[in-house]
Amino acid sequence: MNTVILMGRMTADPELKRTQTGKDVMSFSVAVDRGYGDKKQTDFINCVAWEQTARFIGQWFPKGRLIALEGALQTRSYEDKYGSKRTATEVLVRQVHFTGDKVGSSRSVDVYAGDDIAPPAATYYPPSPAPAPAPAYEQTGFADVEDDGGDLPW
């Protein structure tokens, strides 16, 4: 099982790029705190998002915005400009969630990318409506029962 769930703040304004084959991609980092008090430390986690997820992050998550994301840890090798072999470990983002840090925001949006089963690009969950008022007594089809003064079983 390879699942990563993170919540942290965007360290920079995201920059959407396009590959030579025309796919949208975004590399970014998230500052994630661990510990508390004097022992609190911050880790900077490198992430990569593709296509719809990348566009969504670029639109809604500027520098400093709290973001929750789900994905998988991946390791890749590459050669730097000096010819040295390097390894990068990053989170391949599959889902992004608003975390509620914007005052008045009560929605949740999930974006999926790269999964075998393609759910909708974004799902909006509006606040639950107030319950409907109970129907008038006369509309329920029940009739009044006259109290005969007897004991009820309850």
In tens, the pLDDT along 14-37 reads 999 999 999 999 999 999 999 988
4-139 is classed CATH 3.90.280.10: no
Boundaries of every domain in the chain: 4-139
* Residue 68 phi, psi dihedral angles, 5° rounding: -115, 135
Averaged pLDDT of the chain = 79
By percentage, how much of the chain surpasses pLDDT 90? 59
What 3-state DSSP class applies to 96?
Answer: strand
Q: How many CA atoms lie within 13 A of 99 on its CB side?
A: 17
For residues 39-43, average pLDDT: 94
Query: Model confidence at 99, in pLDDT bands (50, 70, 90)?
Result: confident
Per-residue pLDDT at 146 exceeds 80: no
- Conformation bin of residue 128: beta by default, left when phi > 0, alpha when psi is -120 to 50: beta
pLDDT average, residue stretch 94-105:
71
Tokens representing 5 are: 């769930």
The encoded tokens of residue 46 equal 């490198």
Map tokens 């969950």 to a residue. 125
Residue 149 confidence (pLDDT) above 70: no
Q: What pLDDT score was predicted for residue 109?
A: 46
Res. 102: pLDDT tops 70: no
**pLDDT tens profile 126-143:** 455 555 555 555 555 556
Given a contact cutoff of 8 angstroms between Cβ atoms, the answer to whether 90 and 4 are in contact is no
Percent with pLDDT over 70 in the chain: 64
Q: Alpha-carbon distance 9 to 29, whole Å?
A: 9
- Predicted local confidence at residue 123, as pLDDT: 40
Q: Rounded CA gap, 42 and 121, in Å? A: 31
